[in-house]
Amino acid sequence: MTTPSLEISGLAYAYPDGHQALFGVDLTVDRGERVALLGPNGAGKTTLVLHLNGILDAGAGSVRVAGLPVVKANFPEIRRRVGIVFQDPDDQLFMPTVREDVAFGPAASGMRGQELEDRVRTALEQVGMAAYADRPPHHLSFGQRRRVAVATVLAMRPEILVLDEPSSNLDPASRRELADILRSLDVTVLMVTHDLPYAAELCPRSVVLSEGVIAADGATKELLSDDALMARHRLELPFGFDPSKI
């Protein structure tokens, strides 16, 4: 059997102020799955994501990425395998040109020369931004900057692509372009989002995190069609959106 991309077992975490954010999360994501992580504000979604590459240390339980335990000795490889794309692309883009931003991660890991150039070109081609390699990121539209932010992560050849609210602040065309890109990638995707139609469009499976525990895990269409579940966890579909027609 193929090793899952992500295995979380009994994960619990309390912040230093005593606030308990996670109460024992169990979650397995297989290689190549696209899974939406849903839940109201304060559910623990961000806390969970920050455990995937060791930014937070588990208070109890364990996290494994492609079979590797998320422990300090494995951090360099774990952080290559787990690529997080932040909600605001400007948190990720800080170099003078797009090319330099995308090259930053591989170069920091020791890659040089033609191999580095090939890695940058491939990542930019994957997101349709190769023609903008020499442009300053701040001269790009918001949607273009988000695609470049995805490229900076793809350049590291991750096992898991974690997207934090990927559709936020995108116009309809940029939203569709990003969806097309995400569908084309041969990578496991964990998408943290409040945009339920986008989750339905891109992720066959969804997980609802509520009050620090997994409240539901199943086919996205079925979860979004469960009115009682949605109401119980403060999830609301846009007016007129019918998940049964997905």
- pLDDT over 90 (residue 244): no
pLDDT of residue 236: 92
User: Is 60 inside any structural domain?
Assistant: yes
- Cα(222)–Cα(206) distance, rounded to whole angstroms? 9
User: Is 78 inside any structural domain?
Assistant: yes
Structure tokens at 96: 């003078």
Per the prediction, the chain carries an average pLDDT of: 95
pLDDT of residue 42: 87
Half-sphere exposure (Cβ direction) of 57: Cα atoms closer than 13 Å: 6
User: Is 194 inside any structural domain?
Assistant: yes
User: In the predicted model, what is the mean pLDDT of residues 24-37?
Assistant: 97
User: Is 147 inside any structural domain?
Assistant: no
Closest residue by Cα to residue 141 from 176, 164, 167, 169: 169
| Enclosing domain of residue 75 | 6-88+160-245
User: Is 186 inside any structural domain?
Assistant: yes
User: Is 75 inside any structural domain?
Assistant: yes
Print burial letters for 82-94: b (CB count within 10 Å at least 16), e (below 16).
bbbbbbebeebbe
Q: What is the pLDDT of residues 159-170, one digit of tens each?
A: 999 999 999 999
* Share of residues in the chain with pLDDT > 70 (%): 100
Three-state SS annotation for the chain: CCCCCEEEEEEEEECCCCCEEEEEEEEEECCCCEEEEECCCCCCHHHHHHCCCCCCCCCEEEEEECCEECCHHHHHHHHHHEEEECCCHHHCCCCCCHHHHHHHHHHHCCCCHHHHHHHHHHHHHHCCCHHHCCCCHHHCCHHHHHHHHHHHHHCCCCCEEEEECCCCCCCHHHHHHHHHHHHHCCCEEEEECCCHHHHHHHCCEEEEEECCEEEEEEEHHHHHCCHHHHHHCCCCCCCCCCHHHC
User: In the predicted model, what is the mean pLDDT of residues 112-121?
Assistant: 96
Q: How far are the Cα atoms of 114, 138, 148, 172 from residue 145, in angstroms, in the given order?
A: 25, 8, 5, 15
Q: What are phi and psi of 23, to 5 degrees?
A: -120, 25
Given pLDDT bands bounded at 50, 70 and 90, which one contains residue 66?
very high
Query: Which has the higher per-residue pLDDT, 142 or 1?
Result: 142
pLDDT of residue 246: 74
User: In the predicted model, what is the mean pLDDT of residues 49-58?
Assistant: 92
User: In the predicted model, what is the mean pLDDT of residues 73-97?
Assistant: 94
Lowest-pLDDT range, 40-44, 118-122, 188-192, 197-201? 40-44
The pTM of this model reads: 0.93
User: Is 64 inside any structural domain?
Assistant: yes
Given pLDDT bands bounded at 50, 70 and 90, which one contains residue 88?
very high
pLDDT of residue 151: 97
- pLDDT over 90 (residue 242): no
Find the CATH number of the domain harbouring 54: 3.40.50.300
Given pLDDT bands bounded at 50, 70 and 90, which one contains residue 223?
very high
Name the domain count of the chain: 1
User: Is 214 inside any structural domain?
Assistant: yes
Is residue 209 within 8 A of residue 37, CB to CB? The reply is: yes
- Cα(77)–Cα(106) distance, rounded to whole angstroms? 12
Characterize the bridge pairing of strands 205-210 and 82-85. Answer: unpaired
pLDDT of residue 17: 93
pLDDT of residue 245: 75
- Cα(183)–Cα(33) distance, rounded to whole angstroms? 11
* Residue indicated by tokens 């920050």: 50
- pLDDT over 80 (residue 187): yes
